[in-house]
Amino acid sequence: MLDYDEAKRWVNLAKRDHAIALHLRDTFVPLPVETICFHCQQTAEKALKAVLAYHNADIPKTHDITKLDGLCQEFTDKVQTDARIAETLTTFAVITRYVEDRHDFTEDTAQFALKQAKQVLDNVKETLGITE
């Protein structure tokens, strides 16, 4: 049996992370690029976990967007994430947390992450029939 309510809870968590990323972009100077990218990764992760929740699948404790995308493919191909984008978003889960691992992220990096996270979230919402 499909679990729309649990999926919606995951989507709401994803939407919250995306809203945080947008708020950071719109309010902070200098732009906290690493933090924006982290919340974008979290957006995509939680959105994909919504697909798994919808299908009553086990939800692994992983930040790996590629792995989550692969698990979602067992149920639908409508939320498929480009492999390069999934890999890039995945790096934001960890690399943004440690000073020694941080790269020279730019505003373009943040804009890219925001765009890709929104695309994953929108695809999941559309696929699962979740409206605002």
Q: pLDDT tens digits, residue range 39-59?
A: 999 999 999 999 999 999 999
How far is Cα 29 from Cα 114, in angstroms, rounded to an integer?
Answer: 17
- The answer to whether the beta carbons of residues 69 and 81 sit under 8 Å apart is yes
pLDDT score of 101: 54
- The answer to whether the beta carbons of residues 72 and 49 sit under 8 Å apart is no
Q: pLDDT tens digit string along 62-107?
A: 999 999 999 999 999 998 899 999 999 999 988 766 665 556 788 9
Q: pLDDT tens digit string along 4-37?
A: 999 999 999 999 999 999 999 999 999 999 999 9
> What's this model's pTM, rounded to 2 decimal places?
0.94
- The residue extents of the domains of the chain are 4-128
CATH 1.20.120.330 fits 4-128, yes or no: yes
pLDDT at 126 over 70: yes
pLDDT score of 100: 59
- Beta-carbon count within 10 A of 3 CB: 16
How far is Cα 118 from Cα 132, in angstroms, rounded to an integer?
Answer: 14
How far is Cα 132 from Cα 128, in angstroms, rounded to an integer?
Answer: 12
pLDDT score of 131: 87
